[in-house]
A and B are shown apart, each in its own frame.
Chain A
Amino acid sequence: MKKILIALGLFCTLGFSHNLIMEVLDNEDNTLTIVGAYDTGDKAAGAMIRFESLSTGAILYKKRLPYESELTISIPNEAYQIVLDGGPDHVLTQVGISPKEGFSKNQESQVNGMETMTTASMTLTTQLSQAKNNTNIWGNLTIFLFTMCLILFLLAIYFSFKNTEKIIKEIRKRNENIT
């Protein structure tokens, strides 16, 4: 039974997988190559590539992917994040690779530890593109709604059981009275 349920679960989720993937390759000559594609193998030509400065939020570079679905770009000399913007609900982000000589010192710390950012730079992250992708991960609201449905369903079974018992008792009592 367990195997059937697992198979059924996999079967239900497989057909709807259609997510963007971004691959970043360091060419080791202070350039990098970005490849955008769907997990189905389809190219993502036309999706926007952006480099966003981690210190100022400024857009350092932007261009849409060409037919080949890949771009080779010079690495900026300040800390940045790479964004693959595939339109509403399809945004991927990744911290950018540093050049051979590295970024300037104060920016390096931001790349090495995003969690150690100061309050000012925390505000900055709200200006930076946030990753968004259609995944099957349940949020709090989904969990709450599903739990409510489950509770109501369990209550229905409980009431059904109690009322059936009640009716059976009534039938038994009635039969006893007849006999």
Chain B
Amino acid sequence: MNESIQKEASRQGNQRLLRVHVVVGITFSLFMYISVFFGIFAIVLPYVSAWEKPSKHYAMPDIRNINYSAMIDPVLDEPDYPMINGVQIRLPGYLGNPSLTISAPFTKRRIFNPNTNEEVKNEGKQSQLAMFLNHMHYGRPLKDFGYWLFGFVAVAGLFLVVGGVVLVLVKKFNDTGKNAQSRFSKWHRKIFTWVFPPFIIITLTGALMNIGWTMSMPMTYVVSKGETFQEWKLTNPVLFPDLPRIEKKNDIVPMLKMNELIKIAQKINPEINFNKIILINWKDSSAQVKLEGYNPYMPFLNGTSNDPSVTLKGIDGTLISQQKVMDKHWSGLIYDSTMFLHKLFGVDTFTRFFVVFIMLISAFALGFGVLLWLEKKAKVFPKDIPVYQGMGKLSLAVMIGVIPATGLLFVLQWILPFDMQDRFLFQKGMFAIFWIGTYTWACYKINSYETAKQFLKIASVFFIISPFIHFYSSGFSPVRLWNENMGNILGVDIGLFIFALILFYVSVKLPNSRDEAQKFWTRIL
């Protein structure tokens, strides 16, 4: 008797968990899909960033032969260059960027081609395609509201993945069904069962970045004994400490050449790939140069808050201090190892594309989850009446409509003149209009299958013409890109072209009606 009561209680518990999973899933699914879809672009951000900007159209220089002094020294010699807050120099190679950049607060960032030592025009805020795709990944266009929304979406994602795995373990699902609904259910479960370990880490760190800090206000208040509720006041001194202010001696003395300083730093710690130089009190006899970088022999433990560094005297390169990877406070090591899998700092192309693959199949798994829900809802419609359902239309516009809208972003990137006023605002505005336009069109057309095919066809057109517009407008043909060692940029063009072909193929193969859809999904899944 007790056993049967227990069984019934367990069955009801599982049933409740499944219902909650469905409700939470359908509520957050579209946001999760958006985050995953743009997350794929965020993973390949270094390549897109090089593709979108004329100021990055040159080969990655050989770091052994760069004449740093020829680029850096003339800028620092400018009488009005603001050096009071320190000067930051990004060396070529950082995140796939071939250029050398010099920046300081209250002045425009200066960009140099290290192959020629010439300054190139900084597009600045006129070109922000890669950043915009990244911002869409975590809700930044909606500002604080977006951060909170996508933060809670990540929390919901965690609940869904953990709850989903529990359901797979405790509940028996039938995988032998011969209809589309059964196939969607099977693949939704299957994919998430495969990818749940990395997916959990990615959503956990995503939640931490979006809402973790802000939500820790009460804890910060308690820990600081009422001193502050702003967590960064407690964490920043440990994770991102400010540079010490060094009193100037108010004299002007010659500094050691930048190439020499880099050589000395490299000799002191050969394990670090230096990517950033910070100059303090430059040209004063108190000048210091801090060279920061990444230690590839200790992945997970550095790259985000932990930047191993060597600090030298500006006059003669005498060692002042150095910080190795393990010198960081333990909380910084934990922070970096947690963030590593989300930010993919310092990872190679293969690893990046492996994570792209995981995200891609996760996007499909999310899609199957939504299709499963829609298929259940469609049952109320008689077979000879077309299914017209609000969530279906919204899902169509959000999940499929976003593809041509993103394609339009790529098309506009090289069509719009770089000196056009409000260029980026226009570009993202057109993206928004097109995306909402797909929702209008989805609602206007009754047959969603046909609309999905149309969206994919338009997307394939946008993505296929993007590389050609890029070749024409930039003046870099595929042959020239190849000959001048710009494989990373040519790779984006090829990637866009292949993506367009895949979209076109899918648009042709997708079913046209409800009947065809049942046959199609049972055949391919």
Q: Contact residues of A with B, CB < 8 Å?
A: 8, 11-16, 44-48, 62, 64, 66-67, 85-90, 139, 141-142, 145, 148-149, 152-153, 155-157, 159-160, 163-164, 166-167, 170-171, 174
Q: Which of A15, A155, A160 contacts B144 (CB 8 A)?
A: A15
Of the candidate stretches B177-185, B294-302, B434-442, B486-494, the one touching chain A is B434-442
B residues less than 8 Å from A8 (CB atoms): 145
B residues less than 8 Å from A45 (CB atoms): 84-85
Evaluate contact between B106 and A44: CB separation under 8 angstroms: yes
Residue of B104, B381, B430, B443 contacting most chain A CB atoms (<10 Å): B443
Which residue of chain A lies nearest to B387 when distances are taken between CB atoms in the complex? A167
Q: Which of B108, B144, B385, B422 contacts A11 (CB 8 A)?
A: B144
Judge whether B444 is part of the interface by a CB distance below 8 angstroms: yes
Question: Please, how many angstroms separate the alpha-carbon atoms of A13 and B146 in the complex?
Answer: 12
A residues less than 8 Å from B107 (CB atoms): 87
Supposing A13-B143, A170-B385 touch, asked if A48 and B439 sit within 8 A by C-beta, the answer is no
B residues less than 8 Å from A164 (CB atoms): 388
Evaluate contact between A171 and B385: CB separation under 8 angstroms: yes
Which residue of chain B lies nearest to A9 when distances are taken between CB atoms in the complex? B145
Evaluate contact between B446 and A163: CB separation under 8 angstroms: yes
Q: Which of A47, A90, A149, A159 contacts B432 (CB 8 A)?
A: A149
Residue of B80, B106, B145, B433 contacting most chain A CB atoms (<10 Å): B106
Evaluate contact between A153 and B436: CB separation under 8 angstroms: yes
Question: Please, how many angstroms separate the alpha-carbon atoms of A159 and B439 in the complex?
Answer: 10
B residues less than 8 Å from A139 (CB atoms): 422, 425
B residues less than 8 Å from A85 (CB atoms): 106
Supposing A170-B385, A174-B385 touch, asked if A64 and B82 sit within 8 A by C-beta, the answer is yes
A-B contact pairs, 10 of them (CB 8 A): A48-B82, A90-B106, A141-B425, A148-B433, A152-B437, A152-B439, A152-B440, A156-B439, A156-B444, A164-B388
Evaluate contact between A46 and B104: CB separation under 8 angstroms: yes
Supposing A149-B433, A160-B390, A167-B388 touch, asked if A64 and B105 sit within 8 A by C-beta, the answer is no
Evaluate contact between A14 and B144: CB separation under 8 angstroms: yes
Supposing A46-B84, A46-B85, A141-B425 touch, asked if A156 and B436 sit within 8 A by C-beta, the answer is yes
Which residue of chain A lies nearest to B85 when distances are taken between CB atoms in the complex? A46
Evaluate contact between B144 and A48: CB separation under 8 angstroms: no
Which residue of chain B lies nearest to A45 when distances are taken between CB atoms in the complex? B84
Q: Contact residues of B with A, CB < 8 Å?
A: 80, 82, 84-85, 104-108, 124-125, 142-145, 245, 381-382, 384-386, 388, 390, 393, 422, 425-426, 429-430, 432-433, 436-437, 439-440, 442-444, 446
B residues less than 8 Å from A163 (CB atoms): 388, 443-444, 446
A residues less than 8 Å from B106 (CB atoms): 44, 46-48, 64, 85-87, 90
Question: Please, how many angstroms separate the alpha-carbon atoms of A148 and B434 in the complex?
Answer: 10
Evaluate contact between B108 and A142: CB separation under 8 angstroms: no
Which residue of chain A lies nearest to B248 when distances are taken between CB atoms in the complex? A67
Supposing A139-B422, A170-B385 touch, asked if A160 and B84 sit within 8 A by C-beta, the answer is no
Question: Please, how many angstroms separate the alpha-carbon atoms of A174 and B124 in the complex?
Answer: 61
Evaluate contact between B440 and A153: CB separation under 8 angstroms: yes
Evaluate contact between B433 and A11: CB separation under 8 angstroms: no
Q: Which of A11, A46, A141, A156 contacts B443 (CB 8 A)?
A: A156
Q: Which of A16, A88, A145 contacts B124 (CB 8 A)?
A: A88
Residue of A14, A16, A170 contacting most chain B CB atoms (<10 Å): A170
Question: Please, how many angstroms separate the alpha-carbon atoms of A58 and B404 in the complex?
Answer: 51
Which residue of chain A lies nearest to B428 when distances are taken between CB atoms in the complex? A145
A residues less than 8 Å from B432 (CB atoms): 145, 149
Which residue of chain B lies nearest to A141 when distances are taken between CB atoms in the complex? B422
Q: Which of B85, B142, B440 contacts A159 (CB 8 A)?
A: B440
Question: Please, how many angstroms separate the alpha-carbon atoms of A11 and B148 in the complex?
Answer: 11
Evaluate contact between B433 and A145: CB separation under 8 angstroms: yes
Evaluate contact between B108 and A12: CB separation under 8 angstroms: no
Evaluate contact between B382 and A174: CB separation under 8 angstroms: yes
Task: Give the shortest distance, in Å, between B94 (CB) and chain A (any CB).
Answer: 22
Question: Please, how many angstroms separate the alpha-carbon atoms of A11 and B245 in the complex?
Answer: 35
Which residue of chain A lies nearest to B108 when distances are taken between CB atoms in the complex? A88
A residues less than 8 Å from B390 (CB atoms): 160
Q: Which of B84, B104, B425, B426 contacts A66 (CB 8 A)?
A: B84
Task: Give the shortest distance, in Å, between B248 (CB) and chain A (any CB).
Answer: 10
Which residue of chain A lies nearest to B390 when distances are taken between CB atoms in the complex? A160
Task: Give the shortest distance, in Å, between A135 (CB) and chain B (any CB).
Answer: 14
Evaluate contact between A142 and B429: CB separation under 8 angstroms: yes
B residues less than 8 Å from A46 (CB atoms): 82, 84-85, 104-106
A residues less than 8 Å from B436 (CB atoms): 149, 152-153, 156
Question: Please, how many angstroms separate the alpha-carbon atoms of A160 and B82 in the complex?
Answer: 57
Task: Give the shortest distance, in Å, between A89 (CB) and chain B (any CB).
Answer: 7
Evaluate contact between B384 and A174: CB separation under 8 angstroms: yes
B residues less than 8 Å from A153 (CB atoms): 436, 439-440
B residues less than 8 Å from A155 (CB atoms): 440, 443-444
Evaluate contact between A12 and B433: CB separation under 8 angstroms: no
Evaluate contact between B382 and A67: CB separation under 8 angstroms: no
